[in-house]
Amino acid sequence: MALLLDAGGVTADVARIFVGAGLDPEASRTVAESLVEADRLGLASHGVMLADMYVKRLKAGSVSVQSEPETVSDRGTSVVLDGRHAFGVLTGDFAMQKAVEKARVHGAGVVAVRHAFHFGAARRFALAAAEQGCVGIAMCNTRPLMPAPGGAERVVGNNPLAIAMPCEDATPFVLDMATSEAAMGKIRMAAKSGAAIPDNWAVKADGSPTTDPVEAIEGMLLPTAGPKGFGLAMMIDLLCGALSGGASGGAVKPLYGDPALPYDCSHLFMALDMGHFVDPAEAKARVDAAAQRIRSGARAPGVARLYTPGEPEWRRREALGEQVAVDPSVLAALTELARELNVDLTTISKQIA
């Protein structure tokens, strides 16, 4: 069972680990905040469990200590950045802010990033734009993890997509989805805990069904909604890779592969300034009305509540207050990591002790 800890304390501890691994303090804080925020939202597959893998890559050199990407081209509404293999949350924050700045002037801003690294939960970047009055869109590609419908080989990643709409409601209106039925991180969490997975999450290497997470990791993820999810994943892969001039398909390397080999994925960020299209207040009112229509809609038998896109995660975060739930096995891994780096922890160490 996950333990509830002070979110600020865990963030400080995780930041210390990254500083100990050679990242500067400000960047370390940003990376730590993004991981802890994912856990607070219930997205453990994008949470602090990633710190161990992140640090291994940092120490091996496939993730750089750079804090900002390099501009390759800047042409009005469109920008191409070289991520220089820096942490994806750092280059992602930079890229989306650049997209918002472009949208302020031109109505739309599109920023593609090549030579990028894992950026965590995509909703972070889409919401950053929405909070500034822009529709925010964020996506990235991953190494091939899913087969074509009926196939028995990996041809495309479970490439995530997030879209956030500006609204007045305190609850964000945001879609954040992977294009697989389940994220690989969830399957890895199941493998760590020895739990079975649903039979529609993945298949074995030969394409046959499985409920064993270990077989799933060695096999292939299944696209959500079959051919529809597969098609969407392919389009995201090509949009990210083609517009950035970066990697797509098999050129993106395994995230949990050789830590010395760059992941080398590609990202795409878009911002649409509401004010260049319609009255922003009216647009936000429409989003709020749509949210209310969903929540007050007729419910099926046994359903207590209806939610807007992204709301369940937000409600979970609100319910936890200033706490975060972290699995004991993850805390143990962080403690060992801190020991290896000769870093003193506070909040996490108290729990392990």
The pLDDT tens digits for 66-87 are 999 999 999 999 999 999 999 9
Q: Using one digit for the tens of pLDDT, what is the confidence trace for 164-222?
A: 999 999 999 999 999 999 877 789 889 988 999 999 999 999 999 999 999 999 999 99
pLDDT digits (tens, 9 = 90+) for 134-151: 999 999 999 999 999 989
Supply the DSSP string of 107-126, one letter for each residue.
SEEEEEEEEE-----THHHH
Mean residue pLDDT of the chain comes to 96
Backbone phi, psi, residue 95, to 5°: -65, -45
The model's confidence at residue 34, banded by pLDDT at 50, 70 and 90, is: very high
Does 353 score more than 60 pLDDT? Answer: no
What type of residue is 119? F
| Tokens, residue 180 | 């697989």
Full set of structural domains in the chain with CATH: 1-60+322-353 (1.10.1530.10), 66-180+226-312 (3.30.1370.60)
- Give the residue from 122, 165, 162 showing the smallest Cα distance to 274: 165
Which residue matches tokens 């007729």?
298
* 106 confidence band (pLDDT: 50, 70, 90): very high
Active site residues: 118
pTM of the shown model: 0.94
Please report the pLDDT score of residue 192 as a whole number: 82
Distance between CA atoms of residues 91 and 112, nearest Å: 11
Task: Tell me whether residue 144 is exposed, middle or buried, using C-beta atoms within 10 angstroms of its C-beta: 0 to 12, 13 to 18, 19 or more.
Answer: buried
Reference 134, options 238, 283, 267, 235; nearest CA is 283
Residue-level pLDDT at 352: 60
